[in-house]
Amino acid sequence: MSVAVSLMPLENRRETLLHLAVGADRRGYDGFFLPETWAHDTTVLLAEAAVRTERVGLGTGVLSIWSRSPGQIAMAAATLHDVSRGRFTLGLGASTKQLTEGLHDVPFTPPVRKMRSVVTQVKALLRGERVPLETAKDARPLRLNLPPAPEVPIYLAGLADATVRLAGEVADGWVPFLYPRSRLGDGAGAPEGGRGPRRARGPAADRAVGPDRRRPRRRRSAQGGRVISRLLPDLDGPLLSRDDRAARLREGGRRGPGREPDPGLGGGPAGGRGAASSCRRTSSPGSSTSPSTRSVSALEYPP
């Protein structure tokens, strides 16, 4: 089993992210993956992480299929494969309706067809082939002016059954996030279809660290609740029951200590208000203020 590290999407301090990448490399972790939301360009950060590290695997966890063209994704993947000397894994996902429409101004539709198209085109470009055009079919299809990199692994993030099956059919691995452990254990959520060896799985488990065990736990619940309530409003239903982790995190984000409404969620989803106008940073009493111990304690959005 391989073990990789990442950070919640609320973390936006560049040096903190790179500090974690270097630390993961020195401590023998197998991978360092970064999500992309409405802050840094993840591919640029991973390029910097690549030149600061020696052995740890690097990957996107995940890039949205809506925010870049397949050509842009393939160029970034080939570049990161080269800069990292073969350590890069391309993680792709559907992202969320809020980020897709509220930041990129792109309509969000059921993602399976789009995801299949993007993976097909990216794979062709990484093999050194001309891109199979689907929209501008009268244009002359191009190939990348770079050495082929067909060995770049492509992982798909997905929760719905159709997306999970697609990961088994067209991808090298599956990245379940906030997926019920019960479904992982009984095999109900395993990717199906495809050819070749069994697909890799990369489930994520949220953890917080710090000198005081109680503070990271409270912070993890609050930040997880913010992420789910703001960005993942549709995770409940037949896939995730009210007994699952996502539902508990959502409830923890809605109500802070003493069952009072969490002020960070008072307005509900971000509603297109963009990035937080300010952040308050805290550290546990007696601890240093190094990037490994500081964390964002609150986000303030403009009215």
Segments making up each domain of the chain, as ranges: 4-201, 214-300
- Is the sign of the CA dihedral 68, 74, 77, 82 positive or negative? negative
290 versus 215: which is more confidently predicted? 215
Of the pLDDT bands very low, low, confident and very high (cuts 50, 70, 90), residue 6 is confident
- pLDDT higher than threshold 50 for residue 288: no
| pLDDT value at residue 275 | 34
251-270 confidence digits (pLDDT tens): 554 444 444 433 333 333 33
* Cβ–Cβ under 8 Å, residues 148 and 126: yes
| pLDDT value at residue 28 | 95
In angstroms, rounded to a whole number, what is the distance separating the alpha carbons of residues 279 and 298? Answer: 6
pTM: 0.71
| pLDDT value at residue 209 | 59
Of the pLDDT bands very low, low, confident and very high (cuts 50, 70, 90), residue 179 is confident
* Cβ–Cβ under 8 Å, residues 249 and 219: no
High-pLDDT (> 70) share of the chain, %: 59
- pLDDT higher than threshold 60 for residue 166: yes
Query: Which amino acid appears at position 149 of this protein?
Result: A
202-211 confidence digits (pLDDT tens): 555 555 555 6
Cα–Cα distances (Å) from 208 to 5, 41, 222, 294, in that order, read 11, 24, 11, 11
Report the CATH number of the 4-201 domain. 3.20.20.30
In angstroms, rounded to a whole number, what is the distance separating the alpha carbons of residues 267 and 262? Answer: 10
Q: Which of 184, 155, 177, 153 is nearest to 167 (CA)?
A: 155
- pLDDT higher than threshold 60 for residue 105: yes
303 versus 26: which is more confidently predicted? 26
Query: Which amino acid appears at position 190 of this protein?
Result: A
216 versus 130: which is more confidently predicted? 130
| pLDDT value at residue 1 | 78
182-201 confidence digits (pLDDT tens): 676 544 455 665 443 345 56
- pLDDT higher than threshold 90 for residue 68: yes
| pLDDT value at residue 185 | 54
Which one of 7-16, 93-102, 195-204, 216-225 scores highest in mean pLDDT?
Answer: 93-102
Three-state DSSP state, 255: strand
227-252 confidence digits (pLDDT tens): 444 444 443 333 333 344 445 544 55
Of the pLDDT bands very low, low, confident and very high (cuts 50, 70, 90), residue 3 is confident
Mean pLDDT estimate for the chain:
73
